[in-house]
Amino acid sequence: MTWQNVLVLPARVAVPAVLLVLTLAAAGVNYAYHVRDYARAVEASERERLLERLSVEQERLEIEVGFGNRQQMRRQVAALGMRPGLTHAYLVDANGVVVAALSRTDIGRTLEEALSEEATGLREGLMHAIRGDAGRISVDRPLEDRALVGYAPLQSGQSFVVRLDLERPLAARIADSRAVLRNQSATMLALAVLLWGVLHVVWFRRARHLKATVDAIGGGRLDARARLAGRDEIAFIGAAVDRMAAELEARRADELRLSTLINRSPVVAIEWANQPGWPVVFVSDGVARWGYAREQFLGSELVYSDLIHPEDRDRIEAEVAVHLRDGPDDYRQEYRLLTADGVDDRTWLSRDEAGKVMLIHGVLLDITRQKRAEEALRTLNRELEQRVGERTAELEAAVRELESFSYSVS
């Protein structure tokens, strides 16, 4: 399992898995550490015992050599095979010929011949002991052999060399200590379980509650709150989430009030994408006054340009193109819709960093009544002007007639 795999897991699963892996690793390191210590202790103990054994065997062999009792020397060496862990023992004369050994087949052969079929480390360790310092008893540890090689010189020029395997005493020591190692491993595992339990109470359970709160807020329940006590990271995050939810709730309340005001007002709020036909991305409920449903625009059934009166469409598209290209980004237009004789369109543009228009925002006011009132006023003015003209003409005619009558009388 890689760290990437661990990181995608929930903490309540990942942490126990990591703790288990760390506990097993710690138990393995602890086991290896103790085995190393046991190996050192066993080697030191067996070295001391082997030195004592070599000293005893040296004296006994010196006595038998003095008597010239070759048969007794062979029995004495062969009896060492009963010693635990002692795998090889050779009494070699000055010419390198085996005089006594654990196996009778090796007697009469040179030591090299007797060891020819043995492992390299074992063979080189015994041969090195024979060729080493001939003046004292010594015990060495060959590099490639987990054993001790002991050497004892005899006054007759003969050499006594033995090999003591360390695997068996080490295995016995480990077996005796296995219960202790198991208890230590069990203790570490119990501590890991206890730590996970503490983390579950302090972190994971609260983190799950925090996640549930965030999910509720994301689902639209802005009144949800974590309300986590404490001064740890989970509590800080929970407090931040609560503040965010409170701000969102306040904003939504403001948006609802604003939406209510817009929907109850005579204006229509609308947003268009800067695309052919000006597809609508948002429109308020007031568009129903023109006989359309919001879903018709948001579902791409209609684009806004289809609503503009054909006689005004080319003019409006040309004006908008100029604003999109050159600005200004805040402007006002009046035009007719298919279902309205007049619209007052107050528009502003949103551009990206490169200056490209991304959205077009508008607040539209139906001024059909105003236009009709203006038209009625113009009609009334024309009628008044016509009537005034007619009455003026009548008055002028009467004046002329009166003037003509006055002249004839005089």
Q: Place 101 in a pLDDT band, splitting at 50, 70 and 90.
A: very high
Q: Place 52 in a pLDDT band, splitting at 50, 70 and 90.
A: very high
Query: Residues 355-373: what's their mean pLDDT?
Result: 85
Residue 241 in contact with residue 221, Cβ under 8 Å?
no
Judged by average pLDDT, the poorest of 112-116, 289-293, 367-371 is: 367-371
User: Whose structure tokens read 């001064």?
Assistant: 231
What percent of the chain stands above pLDDT 90?
Answer: 7
DSSP 360: E
| Partners of residue 162 on adjacent β-strands | 89, 150
User: Whose structure tokens read 């635990």?
Assistant: 84
Could you tell me the strand order of the sheet in which 357-366 lies? 280-283, 267-273, 357-366, 340-351, 330-337
Flag whether pLDDT at 201 surpasses 80.
no
User: Whose structure tokens read 């009144």?
Assistant: 223
User: Whose structure tokens read 């795999």?
Assistant: 5
Q: Rounded distance, CA 27 to CA 184, Å?
A: 8
Flag whether pLDDT at 11 surpasses 80.
no
Q: Rounded distance, CA 133 to CA 129, Å?
A: 8
Each as own residue / partner, the long-range contacts of residues 250-259 (CB below 8 Å, 24 or more positions apart, any chain) are 252/222, 259/284
Q: What is the mean pLDDT of the chain?
A: 82
Neighbours of 197 (CB within 10 A): 11
- Among the ranges 168-182, 236-250, 369-383, 394-408, which has the highest mean pLDDT value? 236-250
DSSP 144: T
Flag whether pLDDT at 234 surpasses 60.
yes
Residue 339 backbone class (left: φ over 0; alpha: ψ -120 to 50; beta: rest): alpha
Flag whether pLDDT at 203 surpasses 90.
no
Flag whether pLDDT at 150 surpasses 80.
yes
Cis before residue 328, ω within 30 degrees of 0? yes
Q: What is the pLDDT of residue 146?
A: 85
Q: What is the pLDDT of residue 91?
A: 92
Residue 162 in contact with residue 50, Cβ under 8 Å?
yes
